[in-house]
Amino acid sequence: MIKKLFIFKMRYVYFFIIASILLSTVSNVSFGKDKTKNESLIVFVPNTLESIVKDISKQFEKQKSCKVILNVAGTHVLVTQLKNGAECDVFFSANKRYIDSLKKAKYIDKYEIFAKTKLCVISSSPDVKKFEDISKKGIRLCIADPVSPIGMYTKMVIDKIKNDNKSLYSNIIGNIISQEFELTNVIQKVKVGEADAGIVYFTDAKLTKLKIITIPEKYNVVASHYVAAVKKTKNSKLAKDFIAFIKTKTIAKLLKEKGYE
């Protein structure tokens, strides 16, 4: 009787072990679901691209069942963070100079253009109605410091003015009250009335309720934004999938809606 009971118990134990193994195996089968579920992707995004990359990330998260973590700051700040060891999978740059520096330092293998925009003037002042008005006496103009991508592009615009119309150039330079390290600071100063006008990306101006004034074509520049997968990413497949996703027709349509070229 005891022997039979022992055999019965052992059979029960064996059955339990086999059932556990089978359940464990079944639980690991994806049944067609994306293997990226519960994975996360760290994306470095310059201030100017925060809104559009947020929209793209939400769509990507739904498609891949993953989590996209955005680290938002000025491109120059993001480059410093990456070089100091911050973890990053995908890097967006607001200009070519900084993305080139990452390639040269071997943080990335290659990069490509993500989107393009142009510059414009924003204003909350009734005295600024056309571009030339930023040269009027008494107009307070805020621009970005050349250390930032928007500052570099702004300098290119001002240099074009200098070569074409020295009088206009001198008056504009004389009206500059501050050079901010961040694009967001330029916008904020105009919003709160600390400046009458500012020079920013057109795509950022669209997100504000401020007056938008076109910069003449002969002075304006095309601002290209770039994207790359970081070499030391812990999630190479997901990073490549993300970059492939932003090249789809759906995202191209979204970029156009947001004012990008």
> Binning pLDDT at 50, 70 and 90, where does residue 151 land?
very high
How much is the pLDDT for 20? 39
| Angle (deg, nearest 10), helices 75-83 and 96-104 | 10
Q: What is the DSSP string of 62-104?
A: HHHT-EEEEEEE-HHHHHHHHHTT---SEEEESSHHHHHHHHH
Q: Six-digit token pair at 30? A: 């994806």
Enumerate the domain spans of the chain. Answer: 40-116+224-257, 117-222
Q: Say if residue 13's pLDDT is above 90.
A: no
Distance CA 94, CA 195 (A): 24
| Dist CA 29 CA 40 (whole Å) | 20
Q: Across residues 58-62, what is the average pLDDT?
A: 97
The confidence band for 261, taking pLDDT boundaries of 50, 70 and 90, is: confident
In contact, 215 and 118? CB cutoff 8 Å: yes
75 known ligand binder: yes
CATH of span 40-116+224-257: 3.40.190.10
Cα(98)–Cα(118) distance, integer angstroms: 18
Contact indicator for 196, 124 with CB cutoff of 8 Å: yes
pLDDT tens digit sequence for 216-242: 999 999 999 999 999 999 999 999 999
Instruction: Pick the closest to residue 114 from 247, 258, 256, 250 (CA basis).
Output: 247
Report the alpha-carbon distance of residue 128 to residue 123 in Å, rounded. 7
**pLDDT tens by residue, 18-55:** 343 333 333 333 323 445 557 999 999 999 999 999 99
The answer to the question of whether 226 is labelled as a binding residue is: no
Q: Look up the pTM and report it.
A: 0.83
Nearest partner of 165 among 176, 157, 154, judged by Cα: 157
* 117-222 has the same fold as 40-116+224-257: yes
Sign for the pseudo-dihedral over CA of 123, 125, 129, 133: negative
Write down the architecture of domain 117-222 according to CATH.
Answer: 3-Layer(aba) Sandwich (3.40)
> Collapsing DSSP states into helix, strand and coil, what is residue 119?
strand
Q: Identify residue 230 by its one-letter amino acid code.
A: V
